[in-house]
Amino acid sequence: MQGYQSRAVQLTEALVRFPTVTPATISIFEYASEFLMQLGFRNKLTSQIDSNGDTIFNLYSEFGKGSPRFCYAGHFDVVPEGKITSWNTDPFTPTTIDGVLYGRGVVDMKGSIGAFFAALEEYLRTDYTSGTICLILTGDEEGLGSHGTKAVVEKLLDSGTEPFDGILLGEPTSTNRIADYIKVGRRGSISMTLDVVGKQGHVAYPEKATNPIPKLMRLVDHLQKIDLSEEVDDFQLSNLVVTNIDAYNQATNVIPEVAQAAFNIRFNPAYNVPKLINLVNRHLEKVDTNYQLTVLSGFEPFYCGDTKFVTTVKEAAQDALNITPQSSTAGGTSDGRFLHKLGPVVELGLNCETIHATNECSKVDDIGRLAKCYLYTLRHLFKK
């Protein structure tokens, strides 16, 4: 590996040593701020308190001025490590065994951030002449997500910031080889609950009570028959999944007062949040009108598959790694759902096989390859 590629591994190891189970604490942001400040970036570290009472930190950094305008985005927080004894190594002590680096967050997504830091360092040392480079780094992607990237994007929009020519999000996307897949969009997501209220009573006297469970079951059965088969090129079909049913009742001799079902719809651009709420209500009303539908969250789909920046990333990957990435919109949601309001988003990161898993890991060489791909992306975007 070249020097900056080895540097990417070193920086990844440094980041993994911070035990940043969501939400990430300030220490890793201080480390990143110092690193970027040494490169000449102007840093703005902000914090907010979320609904759980946790402090959410975000770092927005900017270098240079003028066009093109580029942004890299990532998150420092990681999912819990789970049962420590199931790990072969300490989750927060980066350990390399047979060319594989182990540690919580190596793939999702400190390896990406380390790779970009190294690529950025190399690019500014050898190639930069003009243009604007920004970073959005958050500590709240794996948690509630309400005060992380979403909050930074809202502040930038409120301030009248100019759109970016390209936004690179370091989520893990690769499967067999680095950059074999990139994400150029995501399906939307809407989460809802369906409540039916009855009348509590003793099971021996059902005539004196109203059991909400049978009605809820009928409604749920009808819910799952909603036709979501409208197709959109480059997207999976939409789907509805019931995720929970609860009557909040621990007693076997009591008819419950209320029953609730929770469900989620992942949807392509043939649908939007208002259309789906209307569709669900119309189907439920065919069974009964006495129910309560509550929308917990809703995010619209986005697609950046035909933009110049997508082409730039693909050409950079071809030059750097001799591979042309395939475009994909598969998978769950990401912070791209917020970032696309600022410009076209491409997600490109490490192999996604061990994300959120025990013994999360990446080949050391893959981190170096990703750094090379990031470096070439900067060179292609900013070339004169």
Show which residues are catalytic: 77, 141
1 vs 9, 179, 369, 370, 371, CA distance in Å? Answer: 10, 17, 9, 12, 11
The two three-digit tokens of residue 208, written as one number: 């004196």
Nearest CA to 343 out of 153, 159, 187 is that of: 153
Cα–chain-centroid distance for residue 86?
26
d(CA 126, CA 63): 15
SS3 assignment, position 358: coil
CA distance 375 to 384: 16
Sequential DSSP letters for 111-156: HHHHHHHHHHHHHHHHT--SEEEEEEEES-SSS--SSSHHHHHHHH
- Counting Cβ atoms within 10 Å, is residue 61 exposed (0-12), middle (13-18) or buried (19+)? buried
CB 109 within 8 A of CB 364: no
Cβ-contact 84, 97 below 8 angstroms: no
How many Cβ atoms sit within 10 Å of the Cβ of residue 53? 6
Task: Give Rg (Cα) of the chain.
Answer: 24
Structure tokens at 172: 């893990």
Closest CA to 113 of 19, 11, 6: 11
Closest-CA residue to 70 (of 381, 383, 380, 307): 381
Q: Is the dihedral of CA 172, 177, 181, 187 positive or negative?
A: negative
Strand partners, 190: 265, 298
